[in-house]
């Protein structure tokens, strides 16, 4: 009984996600479905890749992860399955799979060419339904990846902006803003934090949790993804600090 | 193990949908639930009927489809079950079931009068919980439709605006706008398309996919529902063209 | 095969809920998951407690109910499991469990201290994932509550504002506004209602359903939670009456 997770930018207003689930359960009746998010910002491949990277490690081994943030649907980008040490990633070759794939350990990358697994005829506009959902169902049902198409050498790799070490300072940036307005950085928790700076804000040291800060005040924590996050207790750091993805963050460690 | 799909305008902020699911799973523990949409625009029966029509064909035979867009709840409109060649449709007799029912092939229409299947006492404000969910559970558990009430001759039929053929032109309209701002028309894909017109926009020919157009430019495609749709690559056709449901669309085929 | 319900203020944009589900299904593969709401207003414990109170009675006996509205995560508030006559409530000791617990009948309150049930190491920011989800999985798998920690005497009790009887009038207030803009009060349906007053609005008598009122006019009904609710047919009472949570409502019963 495989778990199949779904990560898309389809939203939940239209029936797109329900249709994908119908396709999966029609072909793999015992699959268990888990929504990771369908509100990835439209066409934002980096956000989708980050969401997937941080969700995948909590799923049991052998899970199948559908990720359809696919502005190039119907174009030249290849449909892929990445078999990793912990499960299967299925989606377009535009980078959305690459962060999760790297973390999990890539065993092989398959170009999905075996159309007998697809819905027929496949549309040019909804590969989530016609290509990726039926392939996920096949994997959930035990189909081996080598039946799905030829192995290929590489895939589009997405780069998360890297962190620069500058003396005792770490220079990174905000890479994701969650629905609470928490500002997630690309900086893994260092062993010692003296000060965190973002724009005009200076935060002294790390708190263990949001509740260590006064209500309304910015606080820096190691968040549930294991990286430095700037939050405002019972408020929005995004709103209070006027910050957004790409803004530089500096951590002084001495 | 029947699939039960759910289509409502209840939203997901309040516990209404979760309560319906609890009722279904309390009575049909093996049912599998699939959300089609709970964000049908409030009281918009046509939108609900279109969503249902386009989702149902992807579900396995024998599935049960709950559709509760029901502004007349507690009034005179009848609760119905429509048995079709591919499954069961359950909801109010206000047209929301009719497009899917027509497409699937109606076998019989049942007026749901057998109150022993309902929650007791049934409220006047939440038939989704008290009438439709328990009836869906009964169907998922194998209850025959003739146990649910008397067969009736007809139901409220919703008309999708029809397409007019005018020489070599097809005159239709926008009937649905999805969350991407794509403008879905009521015009099935003709064999040849020379030009698509909507307001001041003129689009030459059909693209095979969104990615065939330059970013930001309008494009016409045959969408995943098999009809003509006007889109803007990585943008919103609704916003760019200032269009909405009911706006006329003309397709020149020669 | 236990049902596990989930009520949070996490929203559905980020992967938080999907991660909790992955944790649960990784440890209790046969559990069935039902979302009650993930759009409880941020940090609004009363709203979460009301949602939970009104959803729990529709779930089968033995269900496990996760409720994570937890602005004090990582602070001093205790993680709890409340065993009731109808199932299990799991969440922080801040009142979010208390209304449902009272209604269901409390058997015992357990302080969740047995860290062997938690994810390790537990973060300071996401106890939904690290503490509450794995404990819910344990309960779904048959673990007895006395294995989870010591029994404690009491929990934080949330008070819903009480209704005052003033001669033949009942004085209560709006306690919840649903997504339709319906104004839910704390006043249980009296046997006779002459007039309902809210701000400048005067509504004569009770309607049996929304459809008894003219479109656009305010109406008072006994809603699906068994309390007086002020609605506007095919409209928003909140918008039309300019009302909000805390506004006084008076019901004249003679």
Q: How confident is the model at residue B52 (pLDDT cuts 50, 70, 90)?
A: very high
The pLDDT confidence band at residue B76, using thresholds 50, 70 and 90, is confident
Residue in B3, B35, B221 closest to A124 by CB: B221
Contact A37 C75 (CB under 8 A): no
Each residue's pLDDT tens digit, B111-165: 999 999 999 988 888 999 999 999 999 999 999 999 999 999 999 999 888 999 9
Min Cα distance A176 → chain C (Å) is 10
Q: Tokens at residue B12, please?
A: 């997901």
**CB of A252 closer than 8 Å to CB of A169:** yes
Closest residue on chain B to C184 (Cα): B14
Give the helix/strand (H/E) hosting B98.
Answer: helix B98-104
State whether B224 and A125 contact (CB < 8 Å). Answer: yes
Taking CA–CA distances from A40, the nearest residue in chain C reads C13
Q: What is the mean pLDDT of chain B?
A: 95
pLDDT tens, position by position, A62-111: 999 999 999 888 888 999 999 999 999 999 999 999 999 999 999 999 99
Q: Which residues of B touch A125 (CB under 8 A)?
A: 209-210, 221-224, 229
CB–CB contact B25 C36 (8 Å): no
Question: What pLDDT is attached to residue C157?
Answer: 96
B11, B18, B124 ranked by CB distance to C209: nearest: B124
Which uninterrupted H or E stretch holds A82? strand A79-84
Per-residue model confidence (pLDDT) at position C124: 86
Structure tokens at B1: 């193990």
Q: Chain B residues with CB inside 8 Å of C37's CB?
A: 12-15, 18
Give the alpha-carbon dihedral of B224, B227, B228, B234, to 10 degrees. -20
Q: Give the mean model confidence (pLDDT) for residues A7-13.
A: 96
Q: With CB atoms and an 8 Å threshold, state whether A18 touches B34.
A: yes
β-strands A63-68, A3-8 pairing: parallel
Q: Give the residue-averaged pLDDT of A164-178.
A: 95
* Span of A171-185, C46-60, C199-213 with lowest mean pLDDT: C199-213
Check whether A125 has a pLDDT greater than 80. yes
Search chain C and give the residue with CA nearest A233. Answer: C71
Q: Does the pLDDT value for residue B210 go beyond 90?
A: no
- State the smallest CA–CA distance between residue C76 and chain B in angstroms: 29
Q: Please answer yes or no on whether B23 and C208 come within 8 Å at the CB atom.
A: no
pLDDT, residue C245, reads: 94
Per residue in B235-248, pLDDT tens? 899 999 999 999 99
What is the per-residue pLDDT for C232? 92
**CA–CA min distance C51, chain B (Å):** 6
More confident residue, A189 or B85: B85
> Going by DSSP bridges, is the β-strand pair B3-8/C169-177 parallel, antiparallel, or unpaired?
unpaired
Q: Is the confidence metric ipTM above 0.90 for this complex?
A: yes
Contact check, Cβ <8 Å, C37/B12: yes
Residues A183 and B106: their CA atoms lie apart, in Å, by 53
Indicate which of B8, B9, B14 best probes the interface with C, i.e. most C CBs within 10 Å of its own CB. Answer: B14
Contacts of C224 in chain B (CB under 8 A): 16, 123, 125-126, 129-130
Q: Enumerate residues 6+ apart whose C-beta is below 8 A from B132.
A: B20, B66, B68, B79, B90, B91
Which of A12, A179, A238 best probes binding to C when mutated, by most C CB atoms within 10 angstroms? A179
Contact B239, B227 (CB under 8 A): no
At residue B197, the pLDDT reads 97
Per-residue pLDDT of A190-220, as tens digits, reads 889 999 999 999 999 999 888 888 888 999 9
Phi, psi of A43 (to 5 degrees): 65, 15
Residue-wise pLDDT tens digits, A142-159:
999 999 999 999 999 998
| Interval B12-44: pLDDT, tens | 999 999 999 999 999 999 999 999 999 999 999
The reported pLDDT for the residue numbered B70 is 94
pLDDT bin (cut points 50, 70, 90) of residue A169 is very high
- Higher-confidence residue of A6 and C1: namely A6
Counting residues of chain C whose pLDDT is more than 70, the rounded percentage is: 100
Which residue in B7, B37, B216 has the most chain A C-beta atoms within 10 A of its own C-beta, making it the best mutation to test that interface?
Answer: B37
Q: How near does any CA of chain C get to the CA of A211, in Å?
A: 5
Average confidence (pLDDT) over C152-168? 93
pLDDT tens per residue across span C95-119: 999 999 999 999 999 999 999 999 9
Please classify residue A216 by burial: count the beta carbons closer than 10 Å to its beta carbon, then call 0-12 exposed, 13-18 middle and 19+ buried: exposed
Instruction: Tell me the CB-side half-sphere exposure of residue B101, using CA atoms within 13 A.
Output: 29
Beta-bridge partner residues of C82: C89, C109
CA nearest C249: which of C179, C199, C210, C180?
Answer: C199
The total of other beta-carbon atoms located within 10 Å of residue A111's CB is: 16
**Average pLDDT of span B171-178:** 96
Cβ-proximal residues to C50 (8 Å cutoff; 6+ apart), any chain? C99, C160, C175, C176, C184
Chain B to chain C Cβ contacts (< 8 Å): 95
Q: Provide the pLDDT confidence category of residue B189 given band limits of 50, 70 and 90.
A: confident
Contact in structure between B95 and B157 (CB atoms under 8 Å): yes
| CA C21 – CA A128 distance, rounded (Å) | 22
Report how far Cα B51 is from the mean position of its chain's Cα atoms. 3
Q: How far is A145 from chain B (nearest CA, A)?
A: 25
- Please report, rounded to a whole number, the percentage of residues in chain A having pLDDT higher than 70: 100
State residue B140's pLDDT score: 98
Sign of CA dihedral A113, A116, A118, A124: positive
> Mutate which of A224, A228, A229 to test chain C, going by most C C-beta atoms within 10 A?
A224
Residue of C nearest to A30 (CA): C30
Please give the torsion angle defined by the CA atoms of residues B103, B106, B111 and B114, in that order, rounded to the nearest 10 degrees.
Answer: -110
The verdict on a CB contact (< 8 Å) between B12 and C51 is no
Tell me the mean pLDDT in the region C229-245. 93
Report the alpha-carbon distance of residue A92 to residue A70 in Å, rounded: 6
Is A22 within 8 Å of B178 when comparing Cβ atoms? Answer: no
Other C-beta atoms closer than 10 Å to the C-beta of B66 total: 25
Contacts B207 to A, Cβ<8 Å = 124
Closest residue in A to C39 (Cα) is: A179
Chain-centroid distance of CA B2 in Å reads 20
Q: How far is C78 from C112, CA to CA, in rounded Å? A: 7
Cβ contacts from A onto B, under 8 A: 96
Can you tell me which residue has the tokens 């969440």?
Answer: C91
The minimum CA-CA distance between A206 and chain C, rounded to whole Å, is 12
Q: How do residues A213-246 score in pLDDT, each as one tens digit?
A: 888 899 999 999 999 999 998 889 999 999 999 9
For an interface test with A, the pick among B7, B12, B47, B211 (most A C-beta atoms closer than 10 Å) comes out as B211
pLDDT at position C1 over 80: no
Query: Is B179 in contact with A10 (Cβ distance < 8 A)?
Result: yes
Q: Do C34 and B18 touch (CB under 8 A)?
A: yes
Q: In C56-132, where does DSSP find H-type helix?
A: 98-104, 127
Classify residue C66 by burial, with Cβ atoms within 10 Å: 0-12, 13-18, 19+.
Answer: buried
Distance between CA C168 and CA C254 in Å, rounded?
6
Q: What average pLDDT does range C184-201 have in this prediction? A: 93
- The answer to whether the CB of B143 falls within 8 A of the CB of B90 is no
pLDDT > 90: what percent of chain A?
87
Residue among B15, B25, B74 minimizing CB distance to C36:
B15
């Amino acid at each position: 009984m495989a778990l199949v997770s779904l990560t898309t930018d389809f939203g939940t207003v239209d029936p797109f996600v329900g249709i994908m689930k119908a396709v999966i359960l029609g072909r793999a009746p015992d699959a268990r479905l888990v929504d990771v998010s369908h509100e990835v910002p439209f066409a934002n491949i980096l956000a989708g890749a980050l969401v997937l990277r941080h969700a995948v490690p909590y799923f049991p081994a052998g899970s199948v992860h559908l990720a359809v943030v696919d502005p190039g649907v119907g174009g030249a980008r290849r449909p892929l399955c990445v078999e990793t040490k912990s499960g299967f990633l299925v989606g377009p070759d535009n980078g959305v799979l690459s962060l999760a794939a790297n973390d999990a350990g890539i065993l092989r990358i398959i170009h999905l060419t075996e159309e007998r697994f697809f819905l027929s005829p496949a549309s040019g506009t909804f590969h989530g339904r016609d290509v990726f959902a039926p392939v996920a169902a096949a994997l959930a049902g035990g189909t081996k990846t080598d039946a799905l198409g030829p192995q290929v050498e590489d895939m589009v790799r997405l780069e998360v902006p890297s962190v620069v070490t500058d003396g005792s300072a770490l220079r990174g940036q905000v890479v994701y803003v969650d629905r609470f307005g928490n500002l997630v950085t690309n900086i893994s928790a260092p062993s010692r934090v003296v000060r965190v700076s973002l724009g005009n804000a200076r935060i002294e040291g790390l708190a263990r949790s949001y509740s260590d800060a006064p209500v309304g005040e910015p606080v820096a924590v190691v968040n549930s993804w294991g990286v430095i996050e700037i939050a405002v207790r019972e408020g929005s750091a995004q709103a209070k600090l006027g910050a957004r993805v790409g803004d530089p963050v500096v951590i002084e460690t001495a």
